[in-house]
Amino acid sequence: MKILKKFLTYIPILMIGISMVLVLSLGYALINNQIPSILNKSILYVQTESMEDTIMAGDMIIINQKYDNLAVDDIVSYRKSDQLNIIITHRIVEINQIGDESFITTKGDNNQSIADWETNFSEDLIIGKYNGQKSTFLGSIYKSLFLSNFNIIFLVILFIFVIIIVLEAMNIIKTINDHKLEKEKKLYVQEEKERLRKEKDDR
């Protein structure tokens, strides 16, 4: 029972540690213009109709940043070669292998033609592969709350979250110190009782 109580005492510390790692990881990714991921999975918002009806405009999709290989008909998210801040999600229609490098050509399911920038681009531009999971509901929430001022809102949320973590950490430290003082008090009382008992026996 004591072991279980001790384990439960450390759960908040563990949760705070995990939360801090996730927040720092997210912040680092955004600062360095990377796509935040958890366990190599990222969530992206689709703004255009180019992949309808497979993926609808306004959907939130999950992509795997870690994948074994790519094949024709896979749907991938990648950075546009001439505008790296823009992310495209299209279907692979051709893969050309030149030496050790793979060059990818994609096309949106709802597009009539293939654009120049999506013809024979380096695999290095690919962020991840779509795993078939999407949500229109989450996409609508994201659009209404974050799309226009995502970075500002993220910083506000991050600031609030850090404050919560600090306050919780202070509370945990106080609880640990109180527990330590209580233990020392009990030990002192026990020692006093033992001293008084010895004095009584000596008489």
Could you tell me which residues come within 8 angstroms of residue 86 by beta carbon, excluding any fewer than 6 positions away?
Answer: 79, 80
Instruction: Determine the distance from the C-alpha atom of residue 22 to the mean position of all C-alpha atoms in its chain, rounded to a whole number.
Output: 6
For the chain, 203 residues long, give each residue's pLDDT as a single digit of tens.
556 556 556 666 666 666 666 556 655 555 555 677 777 888 888 989 999 999 999 898 989 988 888 999 999 999 998 888 889 999 999 999 988 889 999 999 999 999 999 999 999 999 999 988 888 887 777 666 655 555 555 666 667 677 777 777 777 777 777 778 888 888 877 877 777 777 666 66
